C-alpha cells in the first residue's frame, strides 16, 4: 500500500481528481488541514512507499513555481532518489517535512520515501506532474509486489520440498536447514533436484532406516550438488 | 528499483553529494559529470549510512559522494586477504565502492550503500603512512574496497599513489584492478614497488558475474602492456565455482598465456571464493536469486568457503596450470 499524505486540501483534491485512490487497495490518500503526523498512519505493516506532498508557504527562497522533488531536508535527511523523475529538485528546511520523513524512515527504505513540494498555485499542470510521479511510484511498486509474490511462492515450494526429504531421511533441524539450502541452490543453478533424489534411490542409497544413514545420504547429495564430487 | 529492468531507475550519476567544506572547483568528478545536480551535505555518513538502502537499486542508479575521511585511515590486512609474504601488510580506502558490479563482491555485504564515495583528503592518508613508515617498511593495498584504476578519470589517485610510492623507498603498494586501460602508463611514474595486480577470470564468469568489467582479452592485453612499466601480478582470485569449471579455467589460462608473457609475471595469487559470514548473510538477503550467494558454503572460522575438497581441487588445478609453464615466480594461496 502506498501512503500519500498532504495537509493541503487543494493538492489533495487535485491528486484525488487524477489518481485512482479508491478501491484498489494500493493507494491510500490522506488529506486536509486536520491531517496530523500521528503515528497511526505509519503503523500499517503493508505500507510499501510513502509520498508526502506539501505546498510551500513561503520563506524557502526561489520564486519559480511548479512541482519540485525534495532531495535534502534540514541539511540532514536525504530521500534516496532512485526513482526516475524529470521533476526539478530542491531542498527543504521545513521541520514538518523532516518530521514526516523521520516517521516514514522508521519503516521504509529511503528510496521509498518521496517528498514533493508545490511552489505557487496548484495548477492543473502541477496536479498532472504530481499524478505522473505517483503513477511511477505505483507502477514500480506493482513490479516489486509481483516479484515478491513470485519469490514467496518459490520459497514455499523450496520449504515443502526440503521438508519432504527431511522426513524421508529422519533429519534433525540443522540437517533440514542444509537440505533447504541445497534445494534452493539447485533451483537457482538449474540442477534437477528430484532427478538427483531418484538417482540416489536407484543406487540404493534411499530410503534410509535412521538418521545416521540419512546423514550419509545428505553428505552424498551435498557432494553432488555442490560440485565437490568431481 | 531493486531491479533496474523495468525502466523506473534513475539515470546513473544524476546526483553528486559533496560535503559542505569541499571546494567544488578542483574536483575531476564534477568536471566529468557536468550535468549532475550537486547536493551539499554535512557529513557523508548521513547519506552513506542510511538504514535499509537498496544496494541493488543504487548499483543501477549510482550517485557519487565526495567527502573527507576522518579517524584512522590505514588498516591492518584482514585474514582472508593474502599478504604475499609481507609482514607489515595494510590496506587503505581512498575510495569506497566500485564502478563495476561483480555479483560476488564482498562490498555488497559490507557497506550499507553502493554509492561510490571518493575521499578528497589523500594527503592525510599519505601523512599517516609516513608515520607508519618511520616504524617499519609497509606493504599497502590501495585498491581493495574499490577498483582505483577504473576511477582514475574521476580521481587521478593512481597517478598520485605512483608518485608517492616512488618517493618512499620502504613502501610497496598493490593496485588491484580489472580495468583494461592502456593509455595511462606514460602518465604514471614508474616504480618497482608499485604492483599492478590484475584479477583474471574466465570470460564465462565475466559475462555472468562481473557486470561492467572489461573482457578477458582486454584485461590480458592491458596486463601485458602494464608489464612494460610496472611489476604485474596475476590474480586468479576469486575462482568461482561453475559447471565445467575445470575446462573453463583451463581454456582461460590457454587464452591469456597466448597474450601475456607469463615468465615476466612478478607473482600469482590463486584463491577460491571465500567471504566472511556476516557479509554473506547480507548478500543472501539482498540477492535471493544469486547462484553465487546462495551456494551451500561451508562455514569455517567465521568465513564461508566452498567445501574443502572443491576449494582445494580448484586451487590445485589453477596452481598446476601455472607450474606447468615452469615459471619461477611464486604462487600465493590463502
Ligand atoms: S571489481 Fe572488485 S571491487 Fe569492483 S565490484 Fe568487482 S569485486 Fe567489487
Whole-number Cα distances in Å, B168 to A38, B92, B133: 61, 17, 8
Nearest to B139 by CA among B188, B191, B87, B175: B87
Nearest Cα residue in chain A from B311: A228
Note whether A71 contacts B: Cβ–Cβ < 8 A: yes
Note whether A143 contacts B: Cβ–Cβ < 8 A: yes
Asked, for residue A109, whether it belongs to a domain, the answer is: yes
Q: Give pLDDT, residue A229.
A: 61
Quote the percentage of chain B above a pLDDT of 70.
Answer: 98
Selecting from A84, A222, A226 the residue whose C-beta is nearest the C-beta of B10 gives: A84
Q: Give pLDDT, residue B300.
A: 94
Same domain, A173 and A141: no
Asked, for residue A153, whether it belongs to a domain, the answer is: no
Separation CA B35–CA B255 (nearest Å): 41
Q: Is the CB of B205 under 6 A from ligand 1?
A: no
Asked, for residue A101, whether it belongs to a domain, the answer is: yes
Whole-number Cα distances in Å, A50 to A105, A115, A141, B33, B235: 9, 8, 11, 30, 46
Domain ends where: A148, A179, A206? Answer: A148
Same domain, A181 and A115: no
Asked, for residue A82, whether it belongs to a domain, the answer is: yes
For ligand 1, what atom is nearest to the CA of residue B98? 4
Report the half-sphere exposure of A86 (CA within 13 A, side-chain side): 4
Note whether A98 contacts B: Cβ–Cβ < 8 A: no
Same domain, A17 and A119: yes
Query: Could you give the angle at the alpha carbon of B254 between the alpha carbons of B253 and B256, nearest 5°?
Result: 65
Same domain, A115 and A179: no
- Cα A128 to ligand 1 centre (Å): 42
Total domain count, chain A? 2
B328 Cβ contact list (under 8 Å, min separation 6): B263
Alpha helices in chain B (DSSP H): 28-32, 44-48, 55-60, 107-110, 122-135, 152-155, 157-166, 203-209, 216-226, 245-259, 277-286, 308-324
Residue A220, domain extent: 169-226
Ramachandran class of B207: left when φ > 0, alpha when ψ lies in -120 to 50, beta otherwise = alpha
Nearest to B256 by CA among B208, B209, B203, B319: B203
Q: Give pLDDT, residue B290.
A: 97
Note whether B103 contacts A: Cβ–Cβ < 8 A: no
pLDDT tens column, B71-108:
999 999 876 677 788 889 999 999 999 999 999 999 99
Which strands sit side by side in the sheet containing B298-300, from one edge to the other?
B274-276, B303-305, B298-300
Separation CA B179–CA B220 (nearest Å): 10
- Residue A223 to residue B11, Cβ atoms within 8 A: no
Same domain, A58 and A125: yes
Note whether B57 contacts A: Cβ–Cβ < 8 A: yes
Q: Which residues of A touch B290 (CB under 8 A)?
A: 188
Nearest Cα residue in chain A from B40: A75
Substitution target from A47, A70, A79, A80 for chain B, most B beta carbons within 10 A: A80
Same domain, A141 and A193: no
Same domain, A37 and A119: yes
Separation CA B61–CA B36 (nearest Å): 12
Selecting from B8, B46, B295 the residue whose C-beta is nearest the C-beta of A140 gives: B8
Q: Give pLDDT, residue B4.
A: 44
Q: Is the CB of B100 under 6 A from ligand 1?
A: yes
- Cα A180 to ligand 1 centre (Å): 29
Q: Is the CB of B144 under 6 A from ligand 1?
A: no
Q: Give CA B46 to chain center in angstroms.
A: 25
ipTM attached to this prediction: 0.91
Nearest Cα residue in chain B from A182: B296
Pocket test for ligand 1, best of B55, B62, B100 (most atoms within 8 A of CB): B100
Asked, for residue A161, whether it belongs to a domain, the answer is: no
State pTM to two decimals.
0.94
- Cα B50 to ligand 1 centre (Å): 22
- Cα A177 to ligand 1 centre (Å): 30
With beta carbons less than 8 A apart as the criterion, state whether B330 and B268 touch. yes
Same domain, A112 and A33: yes
pLDDT tens column, B122-153:
999 999 999 999 999 999 999 989 999 999 99
Tell me which residues of chain A have a pLDDT lower than 50: 23, 230
Q: Give pLDDT, residue A155.
A: 96
Substitution target from B2, B56, B291 for chain A, most A beta carbons within 10 A: B2
Query: Could you give the angle at the alpha carbon of A56 between the alpha carbons of A61 and A33, nearest 5°?
Result: 155
Q: Residue B173: what are its φ and ψ, rounded to 5°?
A: -125, 155
Note whether A227 contacts B: Cβ–Cβ < 8 A: yes
Note whether A111 contacts B: Cβ–Cβ < 8 A: yes
- Cα B199 to ligand 1 centre (Å): 10
Q: Which residues face B16 on adjacent strands?
A: B38, B64
Dihedral of alpha carbons A33, A37, A43, A46, sign: positive
Same domain, A93 and A43: yes
For A166-193, b where at least 16 C-beta lie within 10 A, e where not — what string?
Answer: bebbbbeeebbebbbbbbbbbbbbebeb
Other beta carbons within 10 Å of B27: 20
Same domain, A6 and A107: yes
Same domain, A134 and A178: no
With beta carbons less than 8 A apart as the criterion, state whether A134 and A52 touch. no
pLDDT band at B5 (very low <50, low <70, confident <90, very high): very low
Q: Mean of the pLDDT values across residues B241-265?
A: 97
Whether pLDDT at B3 is above 70 = no
Selecting from A82, A182, A230 the residue whose C-beta is nearest the C-beta of B1 gives: A82
Whole-number Cα distances in Å, A178 to A226, B46, B291: 12, 39, 16
Provide the CATH number for the domain around residue A36: 3.40.50.1580
Asked, for residue A118, whether it belongs to a domain, the answer is: yes
Separation CA B167–CA B157 (nearest Å): 15
For ligand 1, what atom is nearest to the CA of residue B145? 3
Domain ends where: A148, A183, A217? Answer: A148
Separation CA B156–CA B194 (nearest Å): 16
Same domain, A95 and A188: no
Domain ends where: A92, A113, A148? Answer: A148
pLDDT tens column, B288-311:
999 999 999 999 999 999 999 999
Note whether A178 contacts B: Cβ–Cβ < 8 A: yes
Q: Give pLDDT, residue A38.
A: 61
Nearest to B160 by CA among B138, B143, B144, B145: B143
Selecting from A76, A111, A185 the residue whose C-beta is nearest the C-beta of B1 gives: A111
A118: closest CA of chain B, how far (Å): 20
Amino acid at each position: 500500500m502506498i501512503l500519500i499524505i498532504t495537509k493541503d486540501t487543494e493538492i489533495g483534491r487535485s491528486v484525488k481528481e487524477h489518481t485512482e485512490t479508491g478501491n484498489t487497495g494500493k493507494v491510500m490518500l490522506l488529506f486536509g488541514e486536520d491531517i496530523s503526523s500521528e503515528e497511526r498512519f505509519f503503523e500499517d505493516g503493508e505500507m510499501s512507499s510513502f509520498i508526502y506532498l506539501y505546498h510551500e508557504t513561503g520563506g524557502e527562497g526561489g520564486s519559480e513555481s511548479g512541482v519540485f522533488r525534495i532531495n535534502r531536508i534540514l541539511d540532514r535527511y536525504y530521500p534516496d532518489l532512485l526513482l526516475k523523475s524529470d521533476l526539478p529538485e530542491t531542498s527543504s528546511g521545513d521541520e514538518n517535512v523532516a518530521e514526516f520523513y523521520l516517521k516514514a524512515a522508521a519503516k521504509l527504505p529511503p528510496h521509498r520515501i518521496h517528498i514533493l513540494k508545490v511552489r505557487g498555485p496548484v495548477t492543473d499542470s502541477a496536479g498532472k506532474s504530481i499524478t505522473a510521479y505517483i503513477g511511477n511510484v505505483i507502477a514500480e511498486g506493482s513490479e516489486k509486489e509481483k516479484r515478491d509474490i513470485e519469490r514467496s511462492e518459490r520459497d514455499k515450494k523450496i520449504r515443502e520440498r526440503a521438508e519432504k526429504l527431511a522426513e524421508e531421511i529422519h533429519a534433525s533441524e540443522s540437517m533440514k536447514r542444509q537440505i533447504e539450502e541445497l534445494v534452493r541452490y539447485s533451483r537457482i543453478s538449474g540442477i534437477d533436484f528430484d532427478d538427483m533424489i531418484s538417482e540416489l534411490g536407484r543406487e540404493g542409497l534411499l530410503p534410509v532406516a535412521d538418521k545416521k544413514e540419512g546423514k550419509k545420504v545428505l553428505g552424498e547429495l551435498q557432494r553432488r550438488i555442490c560440485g565437490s564430487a568431481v | 528499483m531493486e531491479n533496474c529492468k523495468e525502466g523506473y531507475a534513475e539515470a546513473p550519476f544524476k546526483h553528486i553529494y559533496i560535503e559542505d567544506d569541499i571546494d567544488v572547483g578542483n574536483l575531476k568528478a564534477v568536471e566529468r559529470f557536468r550535468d549532475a545536480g550537486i547536493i551539499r551535505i554535512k557529513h557523508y555518513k548521513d547519506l552513506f549510512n542510511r538504514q535499509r538502502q537498496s544496494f541493488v537499486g543504487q548499483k543501477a542508479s549510482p550517485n557519487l559522494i565526495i567527502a573527507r575521511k576522518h579517524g584512522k585511515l590505514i588498516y591492518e590486512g584482514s585474514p582472508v586477504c593474502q599478504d604475499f609474504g609481507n609482514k607489515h601488510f595494510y590496506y587503505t580506502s581512498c575510495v569506497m565502492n566500485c564502478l563495476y558490479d561483480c555479483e560476488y563482491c564482498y562490498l555488497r555485504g559490507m557497506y550499507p550503500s553502493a554509492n561510490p564515495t571518493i575521499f578528497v583528503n589523500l594527503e592525510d592518508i599519505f601523512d599517516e603512512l609516513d608515520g607508519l613508515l618511520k616504524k617499519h617498511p609497509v606493504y599497502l593495498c590501495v585498491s581493495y574496497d574499490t577498483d582505483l584504476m577504473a576511477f582514475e578519470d574521476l580521481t587521478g589517485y593512481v597517478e598520485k599513489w605512483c608518485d608517492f610510492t616512488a618517493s618512499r623507498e620502504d613502501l610497496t603498494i598493490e593496485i588491484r584492478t580489472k580495468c583494461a586501460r592502456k593509455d595511462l602508463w606514460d602518465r604514471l611514474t614508474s616504480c618497482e614497488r608499485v604492483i599492478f595486480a590484475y584479477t583474471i577470470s574466465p570470460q564465462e564468469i565475466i559475462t555472468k558475474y562481473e557486470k561492467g568489467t572489461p573482457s578477458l582479452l582486454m584485461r590480458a592485453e592491458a596486463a601485458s602492456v602494464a608489464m612494460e612499466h610496472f611489476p604485474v601480478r596475476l590474480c586468479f582470485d576469486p575462482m568461482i565455482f561453475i559447471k565445467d569449471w575445470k575446462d573453463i579455467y583451463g581454456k582461460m589460462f590457454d587464452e591469456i598465456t597466448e597474450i601475456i608473457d607469463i615468465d615476466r609475471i612478478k607473482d600469482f595469487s590463486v584463491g577460491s571464493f571465500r567471504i566472511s559470514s556476516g557479509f554473506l548473510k547480507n548478500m543472501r538477503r539482498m540477492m535471493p536469486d544469486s547462484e553465487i550467494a546462495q551456494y551451500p558454503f561451508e562455514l569455517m572460522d567465521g568465513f564461508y568457503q566452498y567445501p574443502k575438497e572443491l576449494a582445494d581441487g580448484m586451487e590445485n588445478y589453477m596452481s598446476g596450470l601455472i607450474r606447468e609453464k615452469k615459471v619461477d615466480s611464486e604462487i600465493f594461496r590463502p
